[in-house]
Amino acid sequence: MQALGIFSRISAATTSTARLTSFSASKTAALRITSLSRHFSTTPHIMAPISKETDLLVIGGGSGGLGCARMASGKFGAKAMIVEAGRLGGTCVNVGCVPKKVTFNAAAIAEAIHDSKAYGFSVQETKPFDFTTFKHKRDAYVKRLNDIYERNLANDKVEYVHGWARLLSKNEVEITLDDGTKTTVRANKILVAVGGEPTKPTSSIPGAELGTNSDGFFDIETLPKKVAIVGAGYIAVEFAGMLNALGSETHLFIRHKTFLRAFDPMIQEGVTNEYERLGVHLHKESAQTKIEKDPSTGKLTIHYKEGNGEGKLEDVDHLIWAIGRTPMTKNIGLEEAGVKLDEKGYIVTDEFQNSSVDNIFALGDVSGRVELTPVAIAAGRRLAERLYGGEQFRAARIDYSNIPSVVFAHPEVGSIGLTEPQAEEQYGRENLKIYKTSFTAMYYAMMEPEDKGPTKYKVICAGPEEKVVGLHIMGLGSGEMLQGFGVAIKMGATKKDLDSCIAIHPTSAEELVTLR
């Protein structure tokens, strides 16, 4: 508002002086001042009139919704509208992949500084890691991405409405705008791509609300001295690895003896053991019973059961619940429109992203298939092709098999295809051949034994042709490495194909083409 006041005074002065100059000069100055005022103002811009009808209305401005709307309009000329109540980019850009990877990079630099001593460097830090400055720069980067998404929508002529959308029927959506006014839009087709939100802890734990969730992790302003994380999925594991590397005393509470339980047993056991070696305090077979807060210090005390005993963790700066995500399918009119949900609240869809109601589609995290950003983008683009691309795209859909995924743990994890238990169930143990290797990457050659991290690879082959049906890797560089192997496996690679590729030496990846 102060900026507005300054520019109001400038504008008034300009108007007074303009009487002594030509009309054209006055008009030019006023336009420049108005432009500057809009640039610096923090008040919302005046919305253009909202269309009453559109070809495609997308509810949710995350990766999948953006991918579908932009292709429908920008490539195929459909009239598209996207409605988002939060920030553009969805979970990935704002509270997921993007800020997570930036934080992982910071943790990797911290590890490199520590490792540099083994290579003869003498790195002296003049002050501790400035987490607050890092956090604000990370926020600014995300904000730039938000702005880029908005510009891209404009470039592709997608009508962007900031508000809350609710289905009224299979062709009507009510939008509540930021000022509280409501408008109804008719659409030939509606895509629901609203994503998910962090799962809340059970209300049976007194004081559970004193913790934050996985979204709230990115609001933390200062590096915690002591942090407790609850969860065994990739979000919890990534948070624990990053905070431990950055210097926080990190406690990870899991319900079983290992974490990442959706991954191959080699990954589960290998990364769990490595976290213990790195100093993460693992509380296995644990459950929280009560959370308390000291009103004088703001510190938390966590009471818990672990195995057959009980314990408490005191002086905790932050408790982070990272126990999964829940689809945001409540209060958006799905039931009223007749859209079928499953027992977990996900929208039931077929392989073409069709819901149970004609003209209503769903994709991304809200449909509960593979909850990864690139999957949502691909599904959105294939849907736009099928709906608006003509006969050549009539059967366009995403293939949900053999989707590569990476966990930015410590070390990194990569996985594609079937785990060993899944392969046994599908093909039978007698029809499988498992190739495994475990070694120390050359990066650790100069380090003491206690500072050397593990590298483990597994290739699962099925049938007489030894088709690769699963590949699982953990170790330095696994995230980048998996993309190339993912292409090969998607194309139906066999063990013979891997063997025929000349190794790149010296690399860790060469082990995957020299397995015996």
Nearest to 271 by CA among 262, 258, 281: 258
Q: Which of 326, 314, 303 has the alpha carbon at shortest distance from 206? A: 303
Dihedral sign of CA atoms 409, 414, 420, 425 in order: positive
* End-to-end CA, the chain: 70
Neighbours of 448 (CB within 10 A): 8
Tell me the DSSP string of 131-151.
HHHHHHHHHHHHHHHHHHHHH
What is residue 454's DSSP assignment? P
- What is the Cα Rg of the chain in Å? 27
SS3 at position 331: coil
**Residue spans of beta strands (DSSP E) within 343-387:** 360-362
Q: Judge contact between 205 and 228, C-beta under 8 A.
A: no
Burial per residue of 210-225, b for 16 or more beta-carbon CB atoms within 10 angstroms, e otherwise = bbbbbeebbebeebbe
d(CA 461, CA 420): 10
How many degrees, rounded to 5, is the angle at CA 55 between CA 51 and CA 58? 80
Q: Give catalytic residue positions.
A: 505
- Residues 214 and 109: their CA atoms lie apart, in Å, by 23
Indicate the pairing of strand 196-198 with strand 325-327.
antiparallel
Residue 120 neighbours by CB distance under 10 Å: 7
Strands (E), 127-237: 159-167, 172-177, 182-192, 196-198, 212-213, 226-230
